[in-house]
Structure 1
Amino acid sequence: MNDRQEQKQRTIQSVDKACRIIRMLRELDGAGVTEIADRMDMPKGSVHTYLNTLKQNDIVCKTGGQYRLGFFLLELGEEIKHKNQVCQFAQGPLDELASETGELARLVLREQGYGVYLDKSEGKKAIETTILPGQREYLHYTSQGKAILAHLPESEVRKIIDKHGLPKQTENTITDPEALFEELAEIRERGVAFSQGERTRGLRCVSTAIHEPNGDAVAAIGVCGPTNRMRDDRFRKEIPEIVRDKANLIEINMQMAMN
């Protein structure tokens, strides 16, 4: 039995449906019983029961005939973020990274084969971004994601590829597994990962992995900016040195906290 089959067998259908309703409310930014029932092909009575249960547990709220996600989810998310060790030690270095480069600095954590944006800090020239804390991205088309992948066992990377694929975001996205493995080897050698319009055209990023005291690469810190500012020695030498320095500082702080 493979992992996917085992996971499917262990799924509790009622919990799965509740999670699907939550995701649908997020996608629709609120909806009524009838709309959810039609989209999920479920009886309206069943949908109402699920929504009422979620409401009693503060997961959703109701205004008029519309159900929306409740702020209790925000409370949970903030608590998870606050208790995460990487977040605890990354805020200062993240702010320094943004200040010293003038660009947008971001912190990404690995979870379930995705990169989850945990935090950001904006320098004086930082680009505007619509990415919110908690948003997930594929690992193969961001510099933070590739920095993490470069330090995972090849078998684990292949499992991630098998599960999520290598979807194309722009013409620069790496979609061939062997080409990706070649780049990951280069990233390990130089210590930083670059992305050049692989997720967003005209955007370049520099990142490096953050390792837990046990050596696991669990996150990445990086800087993003427009191509006209992220080029030549600044892109290839100056910013990588700053990024590596801030990642090292986070790792040292995490290690010292264990002593």
Structure 2
Amino acid sequence: MTKKPTEDGRLIQSVEKACQIVRALRELDGAGVTEIADQVNMSKGSAHTYLKTLQRNNIVTEIDGRYQLGLFLLELGEYVKHQNKAWQFAQEPLEEMAAETGELARLIVREQGYGVYLAKATGEHAIETTIRPGQREYLHYTSQGKAILAHMSEAEVRKVIDTHGLPKRTEKTITESAELFEELEEIRERGIAFSQSERTRGLRCVAAPIHAPNDTVVAAIGVCGPTSRMRGDRFREELPTLVRDKANVIEVNMQMDAD
């Protein structure tokens, strides 16, 4: 098989193309052979062969010439989620945090320089959100993401910036590395991260990191709500204390499970 060099070694091009097709089907919300061929820049014949191979392995399904992602991916996703230790021990703390605050509580895990939403719990007054489990976010513009970055080494953070950049989401998004490093230092000192309309206008969030038993930061939990309710002592004192306590419970349970 043809391979091409990358910074991390060598990649198998056929596997790379198959992954591109899977992503294209998600972006296009299903597609025919011609659409896929155009999207991933290959011939219709090759696209058809790839799609049939993916179909044979239950990765995609086909109805009347239109291909969509298959439910086997859901099975894989559920397996991956349940294997994650942070997810296993965050369920009860998230539900408690949502109930006690009335807001939206979320768990984000770290993966390949992104933050991946893995679980959420909604309180009585929680905002509506379109964010789905498995959705990836840049780390620099969410409170959970910044809580994770703050407890990574400087070299790791710089690699994330070099790889993904610091894209602007709102007028309050941090887009300069010097400003980001300054805030990460503040987060380490207080043990809590804040975001103020940096991803979504009018939304404020408070988050704390979650460390694995080997002290590597692997996730973060946080609570989010509208600026009208996330202000004053509640935003700066009450919620940070609650979020830190829940993160500590998760870390302790992870440690006991590892012993």
- TM-score scaled by length of structure 1: 0.97
For residue 187 of structure 1, report the CA deviation from its aligned partner.
Answer: 0.4
Which one-letter code corresponds to 1:36 in the other structure? Answer: I
For residue 223 of structure 1, report the CA deviation from its aligned partner.
Answer: 0.3
Counterpart for residue 219 of structure 1? 219
For residue 10 of structure 1, report the CA deviation from its aligned partner.
Answer: 0.6
For residue 39 of structure 1, report the CA deviation from its aligned partner.
Answer: 2.5
For residue 35 of structure 1, report the CA deviation from its aligned partner.
Answer: 1.2
Task: Give, in whole Å, the separation in 1 of the partners of 2:26 and 2:170.
Answer: 26
Matched, 1:146 2:146: yes
Deviations 1:207-256 (A, max 9, x none): 00000111111100000000000000000000000000000000011111
Please tell me whether the aligned partners of residues 24 and 40 of structure 2 are also in contact (alpha carbons under 8 angstroms).
Answer: no
Task: Give, in whole Å, the separation in 2 of the partners of 1:216 and 1:9.
Answer: 25
Which one-letter code corresponds to 1:161 in the other structure? Answer: I
Moved over 3 A (4+): 5-9
Matched, 1:31 2:31: yes
Counterpart for residue 47 of structure 1? 47
- TM-score scaled by length of structure 2: 0.97
Q: What SS is found at the alignment partner of 1:224?
A: strand
Which one-letter code corresponds to 1:12 in the other structure? Answer: I
Task: Give, in whole Å, the separation in 1 of the partners of 2:240 and 2:9.
Answer: 45
Q: Pairwise mapping of residues 115-194 of structure 1 onto structure 2 (< 5 A)? A: 115-194=115-194
Task: Give, in whole Å, the separation in 2 of the partners of 1:7 and 1:14.
Answer: 18
Matched, 1:258 2:246: no
The CA RMSD measured in Å over matched residues stands at 1.2
Counterpart for residue 199 of structure 2? 199
Q: Percent identity between the aligned chains?
A: 70
For residue 8 of structure 1, report the CA deviation from its aligned partner.
Answer: 6.4
Residues 1:7 and 1:54: Cα distance change in structure 2 (over 3 Å): farther
Matched, 1:89 2:89: yes
* Number of residue-to-residue matches in the alignment: 256
Task: Give, in whole Å, the separation in 2 of the partners of 1:87 and 1:7.
Answer: 31
Matched, 1:16 2:41: no
Task: Give, in whole Å, the separation in 2 of the partners of 1:181 and 1:7.
Answer: 25
